[in-house]
């Protein structure tokens, strides 16, 4: 008679045979069947050595070359206090042209007092996302103030400017869509476009006609189209023809996003940005983006636009839903900064005068300032990354803090020192900065290429 027993799908006969085999194997090993099994061998695994990455090796080669030339690392220097028109570094005063403090509001008594009062009332963190932990009054107050300055229905704030672009673009755009970005667009926008999964095309800098021609050919291939530009380009200090871009996006049923990170507080008679400077109805632009870390003396980012857009982002954008809410002192500092900016438009005028002065002095000195219009950002283009690094080191040794921008942040032939102008720089500080830069660059070029300097050592 067949054995009808089953054990987990195994017949009784099969199980008996398996047990018999196991007993035999156990006896052959001379180990009692009921003895505990030996512990499995544990393979010791070392953590991955990131110094073996090719990019890291290249970084170390560059650092070694700089050391041979006696060039200090220009990045991550510790400032001893408030970085304004001047700054203390290792106890020594420097002319400071490496700060986004465009209207001199960081350190303004009204702004500082507002941040202190907010800490006393709310602490230093809201401790969770606004979806989880609820809001504080300052969240809505700040968003209402941002919407007012941009002339929009609403705004939504987030804790990172970079993440604001990434999460907003990633939320609104997908694989069936197209994103058109300016060739000189900020990394946060390029990364947001890449991570969204949408098709991406880059157009020549500020070339609205190219965008128009391109969309005439490809618009019908995509569900949504987003065009992204900046109000003031942070590497070059120029701006787009916004009315033309509005015309193009309207003609092709596209969305337009304007990154105002460096133009709020800078462009327009009262610092309201490019729409004020160029007489554009802000309602004609779907998305206004900005940061709290420059003119507004805080940290974070925001989107201003329609009420529906901001409500949608508050429930769909991962960078808002899954991130902690903006802290009280940062929000309070931004609110107070907006109030001072609005009440004191002379700060915007002072910034404009200083930018014009720096640009004129630099051009008179024969410096290549590229596309800059003299609004807060003025590059001095030197030609290659090595020369930019040498120049930054030499001017620093003469008491001027202006950092190099090198490849891949900019093309190799466009490596530069980038100067941020503020309303609180004095005429003397501007003149000295330009003179030092011109003298040191002339000295570098007289002695020949950086490579010959290195060989000579």
What is the band of 64 on the pLDDT scale with cuts at 50, 70, 90?
confident
pLDDT in tens, 216-231: 999 999 999 999 999 9
Average pLDDT over residues 318-334: 97
- Predicted confidence band at 13 (pLDDT cuts at 50, 70, 90)? low
Annotated active-site residue 275? The verdict is no
Q: What is the pLDDT of residue 285?
A: 98
CA–CA gap between residue 222 and residue 194 (Å, rounded) = 16
In a 3-state reduction of DSSP, which class is residue 235?
Answer: coil
Give Cβ neighbours of residue 143 (< 8 Å, ≥ 6 apart): 154, 155, 156, 157, 302, 310
Phi, psi of 245 (to 5 degrees): -65, -35
Percent of the chain whose predicted confidence (pLDDT) is above 70 = 88
Residues with Cβ < 8 Å from 408, sequence gap 6 or more? none
pLDDT at 155: 98
Instruction: Give the whole-angstrom CA distance, residue 208 versus residue 211.
Output: 5
- In sign, the C-alpha dihedral spanning 21, 25, 30, 33 is negative
Q: How far is CA 375 from the centre of its chain?
A: 19
Tens of pLDDT, residue by residue over 103-135, are: 999 999 999 999 999 999 999 999 999 998 889
| Span 262-275, pLDDT tens digits | 999 999 999 999 99
Residue 70 or 37, more confident: 70
d(CA 107, CA 161) in angstroms, rounded, equals 21
How high is the pLDDT of residue 315?
A: 97
Sequence ranges of the domains in the chain: 74-102+345-456, 109-343
pLDDT band at 41, cuts 50/70/90? low
294 is catalytic: yes
> Residue 68's pLDDT is what?
77
- pLDDT, tens digit (0-9, with 9 covering 90-100), for 398-435: 999 999 999 888 888 999 999 999 999 999 999 999 99
Span 278-286, mean pLDDT?
98
Can you give the pLDDT at residue 14? 53
Whether the predicted pLDDT of 39 surpasses 80: no
CA dist 388 and 407 (Å) reads 10
Beta-carbon contacts of 165 under 8 Å, excluding residues fewer than 6 positions away, are 186, 188, 189, 191, 192, 259, 289, 301
The catalytic residue among 162, 252, 275, 294 is 294
Listed ranges 61-75, 119-133, 146-160, 407-421; the one with the highest mean pLDDT: 146-160
Task: State yes or no: is 99 an active-site residue.
Answer: no
The counts of H helices and E strands in the chain are: 17, 15
Query: Given this model, what pLDDT does residue 134 score?
Result: 87
Q: What is the CATH number of domain 109-343?
A: 3.40.640.10
Give the pLDDT of residue 455.
40
DSSP characters over 396-407: HHTTEE--EE-T
pLDDT in the model for residue 168: 98
Buried b (16+ CB within 10 A) or exposed e, 322-361: ebebbbbbbbbbbbbbbebbeebeebbebbbebbebbbeb
The reported pTM is 0.86
Considering the candidates 150, 249, 262, 425, report the single residue annotated as catalytic.
Answer: 262
CATH code: domain 74-102+345-456 is 3.90.1150.10
CA gap 203, 187 in Å, rounded? 15
Q: Which of 99, 234, 327, 414 is catalytic?
A: 234
Question: What is the structure's pLDDT at 374?
Answer: 96
The pLDDT of 184-209, averaged and rounded, is 97
Mean per-residue pLDDT, 182-191 = 97
CB count within 10 Å of CB 69 equals 16
Grade residue 375 by pLDDT with cuts at 50, 70 and 90. very high
Phi-psi region of 230 (alpha: psi -120 to 50; beta: other; left: phi over 0): beta
Cα distances (Å, whole numbers) of residue 279 to 112, 229, 320, 344: 33, 17, 32, 21
Question: Which of 5-19, 150-164, 180-194, 247-261 has the weakest average pLDDT?
Answer: 5-19
Q: Distance (Å, rounded) from C-alpha 424 to C-alpha 105? A: 9
- pLDDT for 91: 92
- Check pLDDT > 50 for residue 382: yes
Sign of CA dihedral 171, 159, 352, 92: negative
| pLDDT(457) > 60 | no
């Amino acid at each position: 008679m067949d054995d009808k027993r089953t054990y987990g799908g195994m017949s009784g006969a099969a199980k008996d045979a398996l047990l018999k085999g196991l007993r035999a194997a156990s006896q052959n090993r001379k180990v009692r069947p009921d003895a505990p099994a030996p512990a499995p061998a544990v393979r010791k695994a070392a953590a991955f050595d990131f110094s073996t990455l090719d990019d890291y090796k290249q970084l170390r080669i560059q650092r070694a070359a700089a050391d041979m030339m006696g060039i200090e690392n220009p990045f991550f220097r510790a400032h001893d206090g408030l970085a304004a028109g001047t700054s203390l570094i290792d106890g020594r005063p420097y002319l400071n042209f490496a700060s986004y403090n465009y209207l001199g509001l960081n350190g303004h008594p009204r702004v500082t007092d507002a941040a202190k009062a907010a800490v006393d009332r709310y602490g230093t963190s809201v401790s969770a996302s606004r979806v989880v932990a609820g809001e504080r009054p300052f969240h809505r107050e700040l968003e209402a103030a941002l919407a007012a300055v941009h002339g929009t229905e609403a705004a939504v704030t987030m804790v990172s400017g970079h993440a604001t672009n990434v999460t907003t673009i990633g939320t609104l755009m997908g694989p069936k869509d197209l994103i058109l970005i300016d060739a000189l667009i900020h990394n946060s926008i390029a990364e947001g476009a890449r991570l969204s999964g949408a098709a991406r095309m880059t157009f020549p800098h500020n070339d609205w006609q190219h965008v128009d021609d391109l969309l005439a050919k490809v618009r019908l291939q995509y569900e949504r189209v987003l065009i992204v530009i900046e109000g003031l380009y942070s590497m070059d200090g120029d701006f787009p023809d916004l009315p033309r871009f509005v015309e193009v996006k309207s003609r092709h049923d596209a969305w337009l996003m304007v990154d105002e990170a460096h133009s709020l507080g800078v462009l327009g008679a009262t610092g309201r940005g490019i729409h004020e400077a160029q007489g554009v109805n802000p309602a004609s632009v779907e998305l206004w983006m900005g940061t709290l870390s420059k003119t507004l003396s805080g940290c974070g980012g925001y989107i201003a636009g329609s009420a529906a857009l901001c409500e949608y982002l508050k429930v769909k954008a991962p960078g808002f839903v899954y991130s902690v809410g903006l802290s009280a002192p940062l929000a309070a500092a931004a609110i107070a900064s907006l109030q001072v900016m609005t009440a004191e438009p002379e700060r915007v005028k002072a910034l404009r005068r200083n930018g014009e002065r720096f640009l004129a002095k630099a051009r008179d000195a024969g410096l290549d300032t590229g596309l800059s219009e003299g609004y807060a950002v003025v590059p001095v283009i030197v030609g290659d990354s090595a020369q930019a690094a040498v120049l930054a080191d030499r001017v620093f040794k003469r008491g001027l803090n202006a950092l190099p921008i090198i490849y891949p942040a900019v093309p190799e032939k466009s490596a530069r020192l980038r100067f941020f102008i503020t309303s609180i720089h004095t005429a003397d500080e501007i003149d000295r900065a330009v003179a030092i830069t011109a003298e040191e660059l002339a000295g570098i070029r007289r002695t020949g290429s950086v490579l010959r300097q290195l060989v000579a050592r």
